[in-house]
Amino acid sequence: MAEQTESESRKLLGRLRDTLAEDTAGQARLDRIVELISSSMRTEVCSIYLFRDAETLELCATEGLNQEAVHQTRMKLGEGLVGRAARDGQVVNEADAPSARGFRYMPETGEEVFSSFCGVPINRLGDKLGVLVVQSREARAFSDDEVYALEVVAMVLAEMTELGAFVGEGEALRARHTNPMLFRGVAGQEGVAEGNVWLHEPRVVVTNPVADDPEAETKRLNDAVGQLRVSVDDMLKSVSNDPVDKDQRDVLEAFRMFANSRSWMRRMEEDIAAGLSAEAAVEKEQSMARTRLGKAPDPYLRERLQDLDDLSNRLLRILTGQGSETGADIPENPILVARTIGPAELLDFERGSLKGIVLEQGSVGSHAAIVARAWAIPLIVNAGDQITSEALNGDHIMVDGDQGIAHLRPDETVVGAFRDKIAMQAKAQERYAGLIELPAVTQDGTKIDLFMNAGLIAELPSLKNSGAEGVGLFRTELQFLARNTVPKRSELAAIYSRVLDAADGKRVVFRTLDIGSDKVLPYMKREDEPNPALGWRAIRVGLDKVGVMRMQLQALIRAANGRALTVMFPFVAQFDEFRAARQHLLDEIERERRLGHTLPEKVEIGTMLETPSIAFAPRQFFEMADFISIGGNDLKQFFFAADRENERVRRRYDTLNVSYLTFIEQIANRCAETGTPVSFCGEDAGRPIEAMCFAAMGLRSFSMRPASVGPVKHLLRRIDLAEVRAVIDRARESGVQSVRGDVMDWMRTQSS
Ligand code: PEP
Ligand code: MG
């Protein structure tokens, strides 16, 4: 950029900054700004359009167009040249605007006399805020230097908008981060919660986008980049050459490439020369990259732009000294809002300290989801890529985990409706609380055993207040997932022992490590498998790598320390797998005996039934198993060949589908033949109607989320199993695909 333009640009930015210091209201400040820009850029017109809502731009200030048009002229995103610049996030530079593609004439503005048009989007880190426009009579295209100067100005305007510099009377000048917003994602864990936003990584606030001393700013930038390079190199050193770490190394290599990129540095130095502060320069380049990110069709390119984005965040944190630890106090009733979060970071929060979680990414089967489920707090995943930039720490937020919806800064009507829903749920909980001490006995006198699922020690207190008779499924993988290295035997033994202490004599079924598929241990070699859910997981890993399984079995025996021990193996697909796994446990008991350690007073060895194949195993399998637990989450996905993680197909097949219910009935019958106790521990056990139908098919034991015990018990105590069975049988004979409709019709006759 020419010397002359550079200092002009700096002068203009200095003046813009001065308007921030002046004691003027939003509109007056905007008016002053358009005047400054048009005189500095020597254009007859300068206008600022800001978003009134996500789809509508409004002319908020102008120098050169009719003043009456201010706050009157509006256009939709994509409409006219202004709308096009905003939609595409790209500069529109036309010498002869009226004949340009998409031009739309706005008669109230009096713009017909101006030929040339240059519209520059005002964006901040991917957020579309508005458009800065200059126009002149003379039909000429604006030069690259001029466009660049406008981009720098637009960057400063974006920062000013973010700081609330244009807030004043009038809807369009409302402060950013004040509008109510709704985010629609995927329900990861049911429940509703009201609270305040707690950002996992709060946004960096740039308080002064303009700087007077480019040399000092360039030095600050260089120092910060130097620091960044050292930290990236350190991170790279800490990652081994093991193929396990390949993904992490790839990302860090990309970081290093960007951190050493000359063109990235050069662009930021140019921005500083034009008058921006070092952090504003970083943000400007980051914003540009985000715009490209949104458009990149190639997944590889998108990933690399994402890396650049992460790196820019690190650089901003170094420059501003604002880290995740911003010193802000965690608000009351915090709802965690994050792009994504790992289980270890999540477990840093105490159980009960978070009221809900909203993630921009993530999936229903992610580790975060497992923890949220364990904590029984509402979770929304896949909430889109805006919430972390829209939400501010402390913002009021309502999370509806049933619908997968988050209301950020909700207005009064939403608050009212939402609180009604919370109150209704609380009332229902009260009703269930009255059932805690009562057994789940149906009207015809059949006793059903209700257990709870758990995975963390912190969940054990639910044993008392849910009314569960014990833990029907203790998922042991959480202790493995939350660490960076394999936990030691002594650590595991201590954890399991505390679980048994907390259960206070009630039955706890420990399921051995179920990893693979979506549950990937950070320290285990990650196999690239075409279908991980059908791949090397659970017992398959356990039997191939017996070291870890034996260590876990030893830990369990030692934790029992004379108490009863109940163990089951996950994902058994054929008899031999169960036989082999069971033998390992028997061998370990024998080994402990030889070592003179105290042995469990009683050992029960069971298995999960999660693959259709094992339902058809030889009779001897059923005789050998001390008990069987149907893992409906996996069983259903394999029965219907529909991935439980895939939103497209996950809900396609109804649990009350006749084929599936008949299959459950067959399993119950086979277990009855050999007298093998059978239970159901998949998510469906916690759904009252589903549990009722399974009970009608012959199951007498269920294990579910603690919060479901009350609702399931409530329903079971009201119904007669023989009647339900008759409804199901009639429906089955009628040829329907799912018995749900008939069952629901019958239910309605019951409640009236
Ligand atoms: C199941 O598959 O139903 C089950 C309980 O195991 P998980 O959900 O841990 O795979
Ligand atoms: Mg399973």
- Looking up tokens 């497209």 gives 648
Q: Is residue 436 part of a domain?
A: no
**pLDDT surpassing 90 at residue 669:** yes
- Does any domain span residue 440? no
Do 523 and 583 fall into the same domain?
Answer: yes
Strand 116-124 to strand 678-680: parallel, antiparallel, or no bridges (unpaired)? Answer: unpaired
Last residue of a domain, one of 365, 385, 412: 412
Do 533 and 451 sit in the same domain of this protein?
yes
Q: Please check whether residues 546 and 659 belong to one and the same domain.
A: yes
Percent of the chain whose predicted confidence (pLDDT) is above 70: 90
Between CA 189 and CA 198, with CA 195 as vertex, the angle to 5 degrees is 85
699 and 555 together in one domain: yes
Point out the residues that are catalytic: 367, 681
What CATH number does the domain containing 82 carry? 3.30.450.40
Instruction: Assign residue 276 the CATH number of its domain.
Output: 1.10.274.10
Say if residue 512 is in the same domain as residue 364. no
Pair 239, 190 in one domain:
no
Q: Does 421 reside within a domain?
A: no
Task: Tell me phi and psi for residue 275, to 5 degrees.
Answer: 120, 0
**Structural domain of residue 452, as residue ranges?**
447-721
Least confident of 82-86, 624-628, 665-669, 721-725: 82-86
CATH of the domain at 195: 3.50.30.10
Residues 518, 544 share a domain: yes
- Over residues 687-714, the mean pLDDT reads 95
Q: What is the mean pLDDT of residues 537-565?
A: 95
Shortest-distance ligand to the CA of residue 629: 1
The one-letter amino acid code at 617 reads A
Beta-carbon count within 10 A of 227 CB: 14
Indicate if the pLDDT at residue 326 is higher than 70.
Answer: no
Same-domain pairing of 563 and 465: yes
Q: Could you tell me which of 60, 96, 70, 65 has the C-alpha nearest to residue 81?
A: 96
pLDDT in tens, 40-54: 888 999 999 998 877
Give me the chain's average pLDDT, please. 87
Helix then strand then coil, in percent of the chain rounded to 5, is 50, 15, 35
Phi, psi of 408 (to 5 degrees): -95, 135
- What is the pTM for the complete model shown? 0.68
Is the domain of 479 the same as that of 505?
yes
- Point out the least confidently predicted range of 140-154, 508-522, 677-691, 716-730: 508-522
Q: Which of 136-145, 284-293, 615-624 has the highest mean pLDDT?
A: 615-624
Single residue among 273, 302, 320 that ends a domain in this structure: 320
Q: What is the pLDDT of residues 361-373, one digit of tens each?
A: 877 666 677 778 7
Whether pLDDT at 595 is above 60: yes
- Residue for token digits 């009703």? 431
Whether 38 is in a domain gets the answer yes
Closest to 613 measured CA to CA, from 571, 570, 659: 571
Say which residue, 415 or 177, is predicted with more confidence. Answer: 415
The answer to whether residue 244 scores a pLDDT higher than 70 is no
Taking residues 370-378, what's their average pLDDT?
81
Give the atom of ligand 1 at the shortest distance from the alpha carbon of 630.
3
Residue 630 sits in a domain whose CATH number is 3.20.20.60
- Alpha-carbon distance of 394 to 334, in angstroms, equals 8
The Cα–Cα gap between 390 and 295 comes to 20
Q: Which residues surround ligand 2, an ion (CB under 5 A)?
A: 610, 631, 634
633 lines ligand 1 (CB under 6 A): yes
Atom 7 of ligand 1 has which residue's CA nearest to it? 633
pLDDT of residue 6: 64
Distance 193 CA to ligand 2 centre (A): 28
Please indicate whether residue 134, judged by its CB atom, sits closer than 6 Å to ligand 1. no
Of the residues 395, 412, 429, the one at which a domain ends = 412
Amino acid symbol at 672: A
* Residue 377 or 205, more confident: 377
How many independent structural domains does the chain possess? Answer: 4
Choose one of 634, 640, 690 to mutate for the ligand 1 pocket test, by most ligand atoms within 8 angstroms of C-beta.
Answer: 634
The 8-class DSSP code of residue 76 comes to E
pLDDT of residue 248: 62
Q: What is the pLDDT of residues 196-223, one digit of tens each?
A: 999 887 777 788 888 889 999 999 999 9
| Residue 634 Cα to ligand 2 middle (Å) | 5
Beta bridge partners of 135: 45, 117
Task: Indicate if 533 and 515 belong to the same structural domain.
Answer: yes
| Closest to 607 in 3D by CA, of 695, 479, 510 | 510
Condensed to tens digits (0 to 9), the pLDDT of residues 503-543 reads: 999 999 999 999 876 666 766 666 678 888 899 999 999 99
User: Residue 1 — pLDDT band, cuts 50, 70, 90?
Assistant: very low
Report the pLDDT averaged over residues 391-398.
Answer: 90
Owner of token pair 């040339």: 116
Instruction: Work out the average pLDDT over 479-498.
Output: 86
216: closest CA among 128, 275, 260? Answer: 275
309 and 399 housed in the same domain: no
Quick count: other Cβ atoms within 10 Å of Cβ 238? 10
Q: Is residue 469 part of a domain?
A: yes
Q: How far apart are CA 471 and CA 451, in angstroms?
A: 5
Q: Residues with Cβ < 8 Å from 616, sequence gap 6 or more? A: none
Q: Residue 3: its pLDDT value, please?
A: 43
SS3 470: strand
Task: Give me ligand 1 centre to Cα 474, in Å.
Answer: 11
Q: Is 206 inside any structural domain?
A: no
Same domain, 387 and 245: no
Tens digit of each residue's pLDDT (9 = 90 or more) over 708-729 = 899 999 999 999 999 999 999 9
Query: What band does 429 get if pLDDT is binned at 50, 70 and 90?
Result: confident
Give which of 423, 437, 503 is closest to 466, Cα–Cα.
437
Is 708 within the bounds of a domain? yes
HEC sequence for 354-395: CCEEEECCCCCCCHHHHHHHHHCCCEEECCCCCHHHHCCCCC
Mean pLDDT computed over 120-148: 88
Domain membership of residue 432 (yes or no) is: no
Residue 602 has a pLDDT of 97
- The partner residues of 450 in beta bridges, in order of sequence, read 702
Q: Is 449 in the pocket of ligand 1 (CB under 6 A)?
A: no
Rounded to an integer, the average pLDDT of 472-489 is 84
d(CA 283, CA 277): 10
514 C-alpha vs ligand 1 centroid, how far in Å?
A: 9
Which is it for the CA torsion 547, 551, 552, 553, positive or negative?
positive
The yes-or-no verdict on residue 165 having pLDDT over 80 is no
* DSSP count for the chain of H helices, then E strands: 27, 23
DSSP 198: E
- Of 567-581, 635-649, 678-692, the one with minimum mean pLDDT is 635-649
pLDDT of residue 386: 81
